[in-house]
Amino acid sequence: MIDKQKTLKASSSFTGKGLHTGKTVTMTILPAESDNGIIFRRVDIEGQPEVEALADYVVDTSRGTTICKNDAKVYTIEHIMSALWSMGVDNALIEINGPEVPIMDGSAREYATRIMEVGLQEQEQDRHYYELKEKVSFSIPEKGVSIDIEPADEFTVSVEVDYNSRVLGVQNSSFVEKGDYKGEIAPCRTFVFLHELEPLLNANLIKGGDLENAIVVVEHEISEEEIARLTALFNKGEVKVTNGYLNHLQLRFSNEIARHKMLDILGDMALLGKRFKGKVTAYRPGHYANTETMKIMRKAQ
């Protein structure tokens, strides 16, 4: 049976702040014609410039995936791309009135839920599949990062993360073609280690981060002075450390960190622009490794 391309049955809008810019934006996802692919349109810029969601246009991977073409730049696209692609959407026009996709609760849950509620429209054109003829690999040995993609009869992804963390330990996640993305992957939130917060803030990032849209992992004991500083930083009445995490955070899965890395890699692999049959094995994947692997594949097609 030949797969047909799909788009959304109706448009859907989301409003929220960007994780890194902190700016409140409204993003509307509209149905699109066959072979359109997924395109972002900056409606707040004169001329409403567009940028295709392709690895060719990735310009930054600092704690998120940023694409840019001419005057159109869009930050942190990986969560919406992950939801659209994994839920079966091939074609969509995403209008956004600011520079960054809303972070929502730090996961893709609301995006996936809305896509399911709106429903998909099958289109006349067949889906285009990337022909994977041989193994593709990318690695950063000094960081223990590697991604291997081998030809296979179906699409599968395995992720392992190990940050030498006493709190997280070694975590694994797997995903199969037509698996339960909405229930098993989409709800998993972004995360950060406590010791990374200050450098990120100093780098002008995570302006929109708070304890509602990110898991903060605490590796070591912290002082009362540090807790007071964090309380002021997050503008919270009280900040606590519970079981290695800031505040009374209820993990949605015991391996939520690995599952979020799965969410991210699925979104970044969507930037190939075509679906493919292959076995993906990833160790400590990140946006740079993910998108560089897709660039390799795009250049080889």
Q: Which of 20, 79, 260, 287 is catalytic?
A: 287
Element (H, E) at 81: helix 78-86
Under DSSP, the state recorded for 100 is: B
Asked if residues 16 and 31 have their Cβ atoms less than 8 Å apart, the reply is no
Concatenate the DSSP letters of all residues of 195-264 into one string: HHHHHHHHTT--TT--TTS-EEE--S---HHHHHHHHHHHT-S---EETTEESS---SSTTHHHHHHHHH
Q: Nearest-CA neighbor of 36 among 125, 100, 118?
A: 125
Alpha helix segments (H runs only) across 108-158: 109-118
Q: Is 287 known to be catalytic?
A: yes
Q: Nearest-CA neighbor of 12 among 135, 123, 95?
A: 95
For 166, counting Cβ atoms within 10 Å of its Cβ (0-12 exposed, 13-18 middle, 19+ buried), the class is exposed
Residues marked active site are found at 287
